[in-house]
Chains A and B, each alone.
Chain A
Amino acid sequence: MRPTEHELVERCRQGDETAFRELVDHYKGLVFGLIARSIANRARAEELAQDVFLKVHKGLPCFRGEAKLSTWMYRIVINVLSQERPELTTASLDDRDEDDRPRLQPAADDRAFGDLVMKDRLQKAIEQLPIQYQVLINGHYLKGMRYEDLAEALNMPMGTVKTHLHRAKRRLRHLLETEYR
């Protein structure tokens, strides 16, 4: 029978290495997936994902269990990514800064969505988003991250999360219309 999250955390806190190994096995997909979608360098992404688990290991004695473990990890991922790319941490999350940009009209003949080139452009555009937007998009479209989890991790009401998600996608669309044509 699979141990509950609470049991797993308790065993980790008592210094049970097997429990921590189980914890890593359980969450490594989520943590690495989130980071690898923001950091193009695979080796660096792996190193940062390991850093997240080291911070989890160090912080477990202080983890009071008020939030879900995945939520707490999600916050650590945001912190680690923010330290990695501080220039994207201070970027504004509202739309004001992009209002000054010249907006090009979408090209009528651009029907090439879905191909590899478009995927590459999308990835580059995502990497230009502020870290919180990146994690929001990566988290939302990665299996397992619900609106509730995102709201808790980002300390925002659920409605705000949805609004930010739409803004993030709008910014993506504008980036694809302008910088990554």
Chain B
Amino acid sequence: MRCDDLENLIEAIADDSLPLPAEDAAHVASCALCTARIERARSIESLLSVREVAPLPAAFTQAVMARVIQERWKAERAIDLGFNLAIAAGILVIVTAGAGLAWSLGMLSVTIDLDAIVRALDAGATGRLLSQVQTVAMSAVLLTMALFLWWWAEAASD
């Protein structure tokens, strides 16, 4: 019974933070189990005290500073992107507003004559239109490739 009571105090006894009452000390002196427990706890205590401190990796500070700069650069890039988007949106608004103003003043008129388009198609203009579609498609592919190359170059420079 006393062994169980002492079990919870073994570590405090081992690191000398709890002076053992005389009665308990007498028990420990005659009890192999409690003595072994205290011995083991003292061994753990001394092993913990002499555990080696892991050697610091070389250039640790430089590595941290490099990551700090990288993080800052990412944040700045996000700000740049937001700024560019805002500029683009502004230009779009200005152009739309200008076009709207011109249209309301009668300086711009757009008429779409669907009948004329249909007639043109019927009249054999399909080939000419198709050749234009090919040109537009080729331009779109080239533009996409250019954008992809730009993106790749930006990612590679990271």
What DSSP secondary structure best describes chain B's contact surface?
A: helix
Contact with B along A17-38 (1 / 0, CB 8 A): 1001100110011001100110
CB <8 Å contact, A45 and B54: yes
CB <8 Å contact, B64 and A53: yes
CB <8 Å contact, A17 and B65: yes
Name B16-62 residues within 8 Å CB distance of A. Answer: 17, 32-33, 36-37, 40-41, 43-49, 51, 53-54, 56-57, 60-61
| A54 contacts chain B at the CB level, 8 A cutoff | yes
CB <8 Å contact, A173 and B46: no
Count A-side interface residues using an 8 Å CB cutoff. 43
> In the complex, A169→B48 CA distance in Å?
10
Q: Which chain B residues have a beta carbon within 8 Å of chain A's beta carbons?
A: 8, 10-12, 14-15, 17, 32-33, 36-37, 40-41, 43-49, 51, 53-54, 56-57, 60-61, 63-65, 67-68, 71
Instruction: Report chain B residues within 8 Å CB of A32.
Output: 54, 56-57, 60
What DSSP secondary structure best describes chain A's contact surface?
A: helix
CB <8 Å contact, A42 and B44: no
Complex: chain B residue closest to A110, CB-CB: B40
Point out the residue from A33, A49, A172 that lies within 8 Å of B44, measured CB to CB: A172
CB <8 Å contact, A162 and B17: yes
| A86 contacts chain B at the CB level, 8 A cutoff | no
CB <8 Å contact, B65 and A28: no
Known pairs A28-B60, A54-B67, A105-B33; A114 contacts B43 (CB<8 A) = yes
Instruction: Report chain A residues within 8 Å CB of B67.
Output: 50, 54
CB <8 Å contact, A113 and B8: no
CB <8 Å contact, A141 and B51: yes
Known pairs A141-B48, A170-B8, A173-B41; A37 contacts B54 (CB<8 A) = yes
Closest Cβ of chain A to B15, distance in Å, is 8
Query: Residue among B33, B41, B53 with the most chain A CB within 10 A?
Result: B53
Point out the residue from B17, B32, B40, B49 that lies within 8 Å of A141, measured CB to CB: B49
Instruction: Report chain A residues within 8 Å CB of B17.
Output: 162
CB <8 Å contact, B32 and A108: yes
Instruction: Report chain A residues within 8 Å CB of B14.
Output: 169
Complex: chain A residue closest to B60, CB-CB: A28
CB <8 Å contact, A177 and B40: yes
CB <8 Å contact, A33 and B36: no
